[in-house]
Amino acid sequence: MKSNARLRFSRTAIATTLTLLLCACSDSDSDKDSTDNGDNSLAAKQDVSVQFAAKFGDADLRCGETVAVNGTDYRVDDFRFFISDLKLLSDNGTEAAVELDQDGQWQYENVALVDLENATADACSGTDETNNVVSGSYTAPTAGNVSGMCFTLGVPYALNHEFTSRNDDAPAPLNATGMSWSWMLGHKFMRIDGVGSPGDINQSYHIHLGSTGCSNAAEGGENDSSAVPTAECVYPNTVEICLDSFNADTQQVAVDLQALLGDSDVSYNTEGTAAGCMSFNNDPECAEIMPNIGLSFSYEDGANEPLVYPAETQTVFRAESL
């Protein structure tokens, strides 16, 4: 009997010892996971603010100012654009999505409106308020360092056609006056308004970037431009902008109108087409603008085969010191 009692005691002691060891190992592994440089899931959240600035070449650009575009004076009257899906890049190849602050004015879900004009200035349209900062938070990588940034110029398909300034319940900034497009109730992803040769020819020359080739027509029917599309548009005209080397603490994003206009003649517009470039495929002025921002453009005059202008490496958005 004594032998059996000792055996039961030994088994109990061994089981207890193993349990303690397993618990200790589990706690040790847990502690290791929370500090292991290879595990980003438990890293702390950090705030980030990205600043934008309107530029013409290296010079600051202000609404109402006149600049020389290929030898022609050009007055800028509006300068706004939407960005979405902001993310930071690490030098070890990982990405960290930025969760935007929901401020009720400039940012909604993953979309932000950057407004670099001021309607109180002479000759400027748009709104009195301006916004040059996009802010949010991200989970900082525990391995590697943040070294770059990407964002999409434009509004995601679902939000683009769900809300516009025509909707009474549209959240800001998707209700922004002047940023809605009557075509299939979408948005202008970028709006730059201006006048070529002001005081002389007074040629309106605007850049309105948005989705085209959208359809809601039933088979054999016609499109209703006052209704939302029933499928994604043929030409979404959204583009991802990446700055491989960017530090939000010491740099800002310069938005260079000179690089966007390229070789454009802002004193001339093709007869029978929208003033400047409105993103439509029958607008030849877009062939000199859209490739500069990283978008291909297919010119279609309805009589000849489409003429495709391939996307160029964009230089419109760049990093520069604050």
10 Å Cβ neighbour count for 219? 4
Distance between CA atoms of residues 284 and 304, nearest Å? 13
pLDDT per residue as tens digits for the range 23-64:
444 444 444 443 344 444 446 899 999 999 999 999 999 988
For 230, residues 6+ apart whose C-beta sits below 8 A from its C-beta are 215, 216
Beta partners for 78?
Answer: 193
SS3 100: strand
Q: What are phi and psi of 54, to 5 degrees?
A: -75, 135
Q: Which residues of the chain have pLDDT under 70?
A: 1-43, 121-123, 142-143, 165-167
Structure tokens at 298: 């297919």
pLDDT single digits (tens) 88-101: 999 988 999 999 99
Burial code of 129-166, b = ≥16 C-beta within 10 A, e = fewer?
Answer: ebbbebbbebbbbbeeebebbbbbbbbbbebbbebbbe
| Cβ–Cβ < 8 Å for 70, 264 | yes
H-helix or E-strand spanning residue 158:
helix 157-162
Q: Give dist(CA 151, CA 214) in Å, integer.
A: 23
pLDDT tens figures, 161-192: 887 766 678 899 999 989 998 777 799 999 99
What pLDDT shows up at residue 2?
42
**pLDDT value at residue 38:** 44
Q: How high is the pLDDT of residue 13?
A: 43
- Tokens 């200035």 identify what position? 121
Which stretch of DSSP H or E encloses residue 298? strand 297-299
Phi, psi of 35 (to 5 degrees): -120, -5
State residue 56's pLDDT score: 97
Share of the chain above pLDDT 70, in %: 84
Kindly list the distances between the CA atom of residue 90 and the CA atoms of 94, 95, 158, 246, in Å, as whole numbers in the listed order. 5, 6, 29, 10
